[in-house]
Amino acid sequence: MMRKILITSFLFCFLYIFGQNENMDFLLYKNVLEKSDSLFAIGKISEIDSKMVMDLAKKSDKEYPLKYFENSFQLFKDSKYNESAFLYYLGKMRTTDFNNDGNGHFEPSTDDNVILEEGLFIYMALDADNFMKVLKMAKDFYRTNDYLYISKNKGYQKVNSPEIYSELITAIENNKSKVQQELSLQRDEMKKHILEYLQYIKSN
């Protein structure tokens, strides 16, 4: 069940991404693997610049939903993965509110969204406690701050945060060891595909 909650289409997305812009996208995946393994080994996987990312979130709150994902993607490319994840999860919740408010329908760019979703999972899956911490930070910010871009619209209301986040937080709180095992299995599978692709590039 948990593996379905986390990611169910990595291989499809992986092949799609590298069919589009394989060199740049592959380097991003390779980088997050190396950086996350290194930070985990020295006990710094959970470090986050809270002030910077909160300030960036407040600025993003004044703009179209795309801004959350643009900022998240830039942080991801800068190897600031916890900060990137915070904005990505917040952006998902703000997008739900935006679409529910009758403002049209927004969906983040397929290419960038796939890279963020899969790339951030590679990082977050190493430490369930850190995963839960970042999700809680995003949910807390969402709950205590209105989406200023649309909050003055008549009938504005917050839609409950995506159920997937609440389910994962609850699962970690109730059985962290089991969730960590499943996160690690999924990450190992993703890592295997990435390393296989690296070998493919080297041999061609």
Task: Please provide the DSSP assignment of 86-122 as one string.
Answer: HHHHHHHHHHHHHHHTTS------HHHHHHHHHHHHH
> What pLDDT, on the 0 to 100 scale, is given for residue 199?
80
Q: pLDDT tens-digit profile of 41-56?
A: 999 999 999 999 999 9
Q: pTM score, two decimals? A: 0.89
Q: For a pLDDT cut of 70, what percent of the chain falls above it?
A: 88
CA dist., res. 161 & res. 70, Å (int): 21
141-200 pLDDT per residue, tens: 999 999 999 999 888 888 876 678 888 999 999 999 999 999 999 999 999 988 888 787
Q: Looking at residue 124, what is its pLDDT?
A: 98
pLDDT reported for residue 194: 87
Q: What is the dihedral of CA 161, 164, 169, 172, to 10 degrees?
A: 180
CB-facing half-sphere around the CA of 75: CA atoms within 13 A = 23
